[in-house]
Structure 1
Amino acid sequence: MLTGAAALRALHHGPGLPLVLPGPWDAGSAKVFADAGFPALATPSAGVAASLGYADGDVPPDEMFAAIGRIARAVDVPVSADVEDGYGLGAKELVARLAEAGAVGCNLEDGDRASAGLVDAERQAERLAQVRAEAGDALVINARIDTYVRGAGGTAETVRRGRLYAAAGADCVYPILAPPADLAALAAGIGLPLNALATPDGPSPRELGALGASRVTFGPGQQRRAMAAVAAAARELRGV
């Protein structure tokens, strides 16, 4: 029986529907999703940040890894962690901290928060190769491509970056906010399992799978839905 990264990696290549990965923001939500029968989970940085009282991107690394650790310890299914751009950590320390937290997968993005643009693609590929060399097969690397969210290129640039990241050892690619109509071309052009973001007003996970996605995640959407339910309950208590 496969466990850890091997189990998570295998789930990306299963037949039929895409791999649907709910986004727990704390140990309690992780248990709810695991108890519902989901075979793996993927933490969203923005959802975790909100649960800790921070804006997305402002969580100190120690707090983020501690939160990932609480989530991973709460469940018996593989957990992939969104670690944004890696917090400036070297590959060796990043891999070690993910392993210590119990995560067997990670998102690494190529957006440059300082410039609001993109990291040079070749430099990002080199970083991914370093992470792969340190982790071996013990980590499923989901290379997030920020071309669409940064307005810094369309399908051609996304495919170019995706191919570089594939050659560097990424297991899957995540062109966040790619239009659903682009998914098939991206998946065919890059040649790796494709992660699509499900949004409330967009296609369902099943539909995203039919369009070319092998993996579907939700970003902070589920944390925000949960907090909306809390807000509604609070208003009811107040009689508003």
Structure 2
Amino acid sequence: MTDTADKAQTLAALYDAPEILRVVNIWDVVSAQAIAALPETRALATAGHSIAATFGYADGQIPREIMIDFVGRIAAAVELPVSADLDDGYGDAGETARLAIGAGVVGANVEDRLKPLAESVAQVEAIVKAGEAEGVPFVLNARTDAIVRGGDKPLADKLADAVERGRAYLDAGAKAVFVPGILDAEATRTLVDGIGAGKVSVIGLPGALTAAEYEALGVARISYGPLPQRVALTALQDVATSLYANGVIPEGTRALN
């Protein structure tokens, strides 16, 4: 596990760095290799939604064995640390983390889906213990759905829930806390003040702040979820429309596969 442990330490250091960790989410081996080839890329993160869509599943419905096999293929195809989106842990987050580590993955996002706090904390503890048992300092970016699943609650209450859960997850051994949602500067400051500078992870949705703006507010990591795949599929559909209209493959198309 030496190589895996080294990659985990590298990923943890990227979270600790003053610069925000920018990860462009990938969904298969060829997308991973294309992004890994860029000099700006420091680590890779899979998009669970995108992998599920690749296999014809709705988000969160892909079987664990398919997900683990696929993220393992991605990890084996690149030299960079790979963090995987492992949905909600598939009913046994500790075992899921163990399987992911065995496949070469060194970090993960795991959702709380607003389960009771004690249950969610126990899930974080199980993931951390799995990494310790495998000799890998597994980098958990513990996700709280306090905003995206908070329903009609006022934003202030959702943010307070996110802070409470985030602190609890850090105390249980998580490296950072992922709070998806469109976060403006004020909401981001509330999360960073409550959870900690360098401990909050966000998603770069349309309408959100830029990575540099989040960095200035003390955010540790920004990712983009299923959006890179949507951009790629938009390009695919657009070129197909052009070809059907008697177009040609655009000049400058790079041989990335």
Look up the equivalent residue of 1:143 and give its one-letter code. Answer: A
8 Å contact 1:122–1:164 — kept in the other structure? no
> Under a length normalisation based on structure 2, what TM-score does the superposition of the two structures give?
0.85
Structure 1 stretches of 4+ moved >3 Å: none
The answer to whether the aligner puts 1:142 opposite 2:141 as a matched pair is yes
After superposition, what is the alpha-carbon deviation per residue over 1:7-38, rounded to whole angstroms, capped at 9, x for unaligned?
000001112x3100110100000011110020
The Cα RMSD (Å) is 1.7
TM-score, normalisation: structure 1: 0.91
Which entry has the higher C-alpha Rg, 1 or 2?
Answer: 2
Which sections of structure 1, spanning at least 5 residues, go unmatched? Answer: 112-117
CA contact (8 A) 1:24 1:71 kept: no
TM-aligned CA deviation for residue 178 of structure 1: 5.0
Name 1:133's counterpart in structure 2.
Answer: 129
1:36 aligns with 2:32: no
Sequence identity of aligned pairs in percent? Answer: 37
Aligned ranges 1:1-240 → 2 under 5 Å: 3-15=6-18, 17-37=19-39, 38-89=41-92, 91=94, 93-111=95-113, 118-136=114-132, 137-152=136-151, 153-177=157-181, 179-181=183-185, 182-191=187-196, 193-239=199-245
- Conserved 8 A contact 2:20-2:219: yes
| Cα displacement (A) at 1:142 | 0.7
Structure 2 portions without partners, runs of 5+: 152-156, 247-257
Q: Deviations over 1:98-132 (max 9, x none)?
A: 11221100111110xxxxxx200121001211221
Question: What is the SS of the residue equivalent to 1:126?
Answer: helix
Q: Cα offset for 1:73?
A: 1.1
Structure 1 counterpart of 2:249? none
- State the alpha-carbon separation in 1 of the partners of residues 144 and 111 from structure 2: 6
What SS does the aligned partner of 1:103 have?
coil
- 2:250 maps to none
